[in-house]
Structure 1
């Protein structure tokens, strides 16, 4: 029985299948459903868990080469929110692009982890290193 780290078997299974240069999406509660990729839905109630909760849980054992986010994230959120995300992604190159372009990357991901995050455009695509 696992005692530490990620305990959710669906998240563990998904992470185990992400290989070098594959991508994984961590999305907020309003992100659309993508039937062509596996989705693990962790949403419970508003903001439990958040995108940053999931990122912090997987980061110790997931090598991130780069991240994509919607440029609208920068416009729609406070400096404090942007700083929390920047701190959580410290040391990782982050590329911002229009949300429409961001969504075009989603179908090629190995999977998507949906959270209950209410932060506007909190979605991110992680590329494994």
Structure 2
């Protein structure tokens, strides 16, 4: 029985299918449904879990080379929220961060292997991670 790390079997199965250059979306509670890709909804309630909670659990076993996020994130969130994301991203060696208009961000979604929906209420806090 697993006792550490990601315990959710659907998330584990989704992550296990990701290979070199594949992407995974980690999204907030209100992120739209995308019928083209598998969605694993782990939202429990508003604020649980958060996007960064999922990212932190992925880091030990998922080599991330690039992260995309909507540039509107910077304009709509307080400095402490921006810092928490930047600190989390900074803990990933050699990662490239790209912030782009949210309309462009959403065009990347259908190409992802899957989407993990969280309970995160952070405005534009959605991210797309690419494996290397």
Query: TM (normalized to structure 1)?
Result: 0.98
Q: For 1:98, which of 98, 101, 105 is the aligned residue? A: 101
1:79-108 residue CA offsets vs partner (Å, 9 max, x unmatched): 110000001111421100000000000000
For the pair 1:121 / 2:121, whether they are aligned, the reply is no
- Structure 2: gaps spanning 5 or more residues: none
Q: How does 1:50-65 map to 2 (within 5 A)?
A: 50-65=50-65
> Residue in 2 aligned with 1:17?
17
Residue segments in structure 1 that go unaligned for 5+ positions in a row: none
Count of residues paired in the alignment: 129
1:121 positional shift: 0.4
Alignment of 1:68-87 (within 5 A): 68-87=68-87
Tell me, in whole angstroms, the C-alpha distance in 1 between the residues paired with 2:6 and 2:47.
Answer: 18
RMSD (Å), alpha carbons: 0.6
CA distance in 2, matches of 1:34, 1:28: 13
Provide TM-score, normalisation by structure 2: 0.96
| Runs of at least 4 residues off by over 4 Å | none
C-alpha separation in 1, matches of 2:24 and 2:57: 14
Tell me the CA shift for residue 22 of structure 1: 0.3
